[in-house]
Homo-oligomer: A and B are copies of this chain.
Amino acid sequence: MAEANRQIVLDQLPQGRLSADHFRLVQGERPTPGPGEALVRTHYISLDAANRAWMQGATYRSALSAGQVMAGGALAEVVEAPDSDLLPGDLVFADTGWQDYAIVPTKRLAKLPALEPRTHLLSVFGVAGLTAYFGLLECGQPKPGETVVVSAAAGSVGSIVGQIAKLKGCRVVGVAGGAEKGRWLTEELGFDAAVDYKAGDLRRQLKEAAPGGIDVYFDNVGGDVFETCLFAMNTFGRIACCGAVSQYDGEAPRHGPRGVPGLIVTKRLTLRGFIVSDFDDKRSQALRDLQTWVAEGRLKVHEDIIEGLENTPAALVGLLAGENRGKRMVKVR
């Protein structure tokens, strides 16, 4: 007997700014797994700026195309996974897309540990936390006493980057939009200073917040913030290139940041791009560290949970506009 499967389809690829109108909700049928496949039920959909980047063209995954169920990762429950060790009810992270039920290759699933709240499996112990950990520590290589600047600092990754940098003895400056977010960063999360990119004269603000220059810049945004930080880098500084959200939601940019590659030479900078799966071999240690810091109360976890599959498009549009603090996800079930 077929059971309903609500699906959100990417109805058309955005040419400029993404809106909820680019999506539509359809009713499909609950699919049946074939050999090597599992049927999973979506619990929490992860929302990430990368969802928007996938619409621009091939990245580390193929470009999305119109008319298909919108792609995305989620915390999901195994319904059936024949020929595997997975049991019904097991929690997994899966590339479900935005729908109630999905068929996924069994070999790409791994059972997640039972921990509470389970949403942490999508935030601090999921892609966001591991991205922050590896990007900062492996690409940024911060040393005690150095100055770390992170952009999109109130976001899922940035809010963790800043806290880990503090744990490592660094001076931490967060770049975020609006004075209220800035207060949240400094008063709640322990950042040393915040810079409001919407308030203008970013160069002067950064100079005041990081008077000794920047040793590590964790970049989530690209564009003008990247350029301004590049000019403020110290000799032998490191830039962890994690994303370029300022460039995702609009036309293709006509030009890039000034100072590339000239300042990279004169300041002897290292820029390194990464995605979280590049560090799979170091994942266990990373999770142990993150779990310890959370358990000790030294790493605060903020989650922004939206209710209802039907609200996923608006939730992504809001994320791209900077609505969220910490990890945004959609509770489907």
Contacts and interface: CB of A to CB of B under 8 A. Distances in A.
A267 interface: yes
Contacts of A53: 262, 266
Given A219-B261, A244-B262, A273 B278 contact: no
Contacts of A241: 261, 264-265
A17 interface: no
B270 A260 contact: no
A285 interface: no
Interface stretch (A168-176, A250-258, A287-295): A250-258
A253 B258 contact: yes
Contacts of A257: 255-256, 260-261
B278 A265 contact: no
A330 interface: no
Question: Which residue among A258, A259, A260, A264 has the maximum number of chain B CB atoms within 10 Å of its CB?
Answer: A260
Nearest to A247: B262
B258 A260 contact: no
A219 to B, nearest CB: 6
Contact of A266 (B59, B261, B270): B59
Copies in the complex: 2
Contacts of A227: 256
A62 to B, nearest CB: 12
Contacts of A59: 265-266
B261 A226 contact: yes
Contact of A261 (B244, B259, B265, B275): B244
A259 B255 CA distance: 8
Given A226-B261, A244-B261, A266 B273 contact: yes
A258 B256 contact: yes
B264 A271 contact: yes
Contacts of A244: 261-262, 265
A80 to B, nearest CB: 35
Given A256-B259, A257-B256, A278 B272 contact: no
A313 interface: no
Interface string A46-86: 00000001000011100000000000000000000000000
A232 interface: no
A268 B60 CA distance: 9
A316 interface: no
Contacts of A243: 265
B222 A242 contact: no
Q: List 10 A-B pairs, minimum CB-CB distance, nearest first.
A: A255-B255, A264-B273, A265-B273, A256-B260, A256-B256, A59-B266, A271-B271, A241-B264, A241-B261, A244-B262
Given A241-B261, A268-B278, 19 more contacts: A53-B262, A59-B266, A60-B235, A222-B262, A227-B256, A239-B261, A244-B262, A244-B265, A255-B256, A256-B257, A257-B261, A260-B260, A261-B273, A268-B272, A268-B273, A268-B275, A269-B271, A270-B272, A270-B273
